[in-house]
Amino acid sequence: MSPDSPPRSVLDLTAMKAAGRKIVMLTCYDATFARLIAPLVDVLLVGDSVNQVVAGHETTLSATLDQLIYHARAVRRGAPDALLLVDLPFLSYQVSVEEAIRNAGRVLQETGAQGVKLEGGRPMLDTVRALVERGIPVMAHIGLTPQSVHALGGYRVQGRERGAPERMREDARELEDAGAFGLLLELVPAPLAASISQTLRIPTVGFGAGPGCDGQVLVLYDMLGLNETFSPKFLKRFAVLTGAVREAARAYAEEVRAGKYPGVEHSFD
């Protein structure tokens, strides 16, 4: 892998960490956005956050495997060469190792993704190991795990309770030993996330976990400022597109009602 070339496999992400090159990840759910952003980032993630930002649900819990596969196939059509990861949704991998293998294999088979992401620490070790042994690359995910939001008491920073930092460090080490190629750290105190990142050979990607991770991920709709009701401390809006969308819709409606659109130049003889 040359210093400036985009990653083409999950192994390239480890090489990026070794070279001190930050990993840029964004969520993506459709072909149009995939075409726009794929040349600019290192990894596209079809997250189960699609269930919230696109489908309008309160949590990710009702996301389905078919839903994630549908969106991942759309993203792959828009970005045929991108490094693509797909979330395994709730109950697609927790019931049994056998079911996790079947469902993760289906994701790779039907979408062309290069890997899957699943949530959880020590309870998921056997699952991670089984998937990796069968040739299915796995990114692990600890800290705030949205599929466990009710058990965690809501969306809040993890790793602050007595004993929690060391448990998180142990989870990270054991997930690496189980074969995970990377680790997503969500809503983790920055010093803890940095110390975990420094002790692992595999790369970490932070989501509200400070600058010490090997890469960063944001939800595309949040990064573009399309979600006005979501404004956590960790989020930086790199654009605020709600006003532009509303203004375009207002102008369109005004011209249609006034008979200005479509004009002669938009019409066929």
- Segment 92-116, tens digit of pLDDT: 999 999 999 999 999 999 999 999 9
Please say whether the beta carbons of 179 and 129 come within 8 A.
Answer: yes
CATH of the structural domain 10-238, one choice from 3.40.50.1820, 3.40.50.300, 3.40.50.10540, 3.20.20.60: 3.20.20.60
Q: What pLDDT sits at residue 102?
A: 98
Which phi and psi angles does 141 have, rounded to 5°? -150, 115
Instruction: Please state the domain extents for the chain.
Output: 10-238, 241-269
Q: What pLDDT sits at residue 5?
A: 84
Q: What pLDDT sits at residue 4?
A: 74
Task: Identify any residues that bridge with 45 across adjacent strands, giving them in sequence order.
Answer: 27, 85
Q: What pLDDT sits at residue 131?
A: 98
User: pLDDT-derived band of residue 3, with 50, 70 and 90 as boundaries?
Assistant: low
Question: Annotated catalytic, 170?
Answer: no
Q: Choose the catalytic residue: 133, 166, 186, 255.
A: 186
In this predicted structure, the answer to whether residue 85 has a pLDDT above a threshold of 90 is: yes
Average pLDDT over residues 154-159: 97
In this predicted structure, the answer to whether residue 233 has a pLDDT above a threshold of 70 is: yes
Q: Among residues 135, 121, 112, 124, which one has the least CA distance to residue 46?
A: 112
In this predicted structure, the answer to whether residue 197 has a pLDDT above a threshold of 80 is: yes
- Strand ranges (DSSP E) for 130-269? 138-143, 182-186, 204-207, 215-218
Q: Among residues 16, 1, 44, 21, which one has the least CA distance to residue 202?
A: 16
Which phi and psi angles does 116 have, rounded to 5°? -125, 160
Spatial neighbors of 80 by CB under 8 A, at least 6 apart, are: 112
Residue found under tokens 């080490």:
173
Average pLDDT over residues 144-155: 97
Average pLDDT, the chain: 97
Q: What pLDDT sits at residue 2?
A: 65
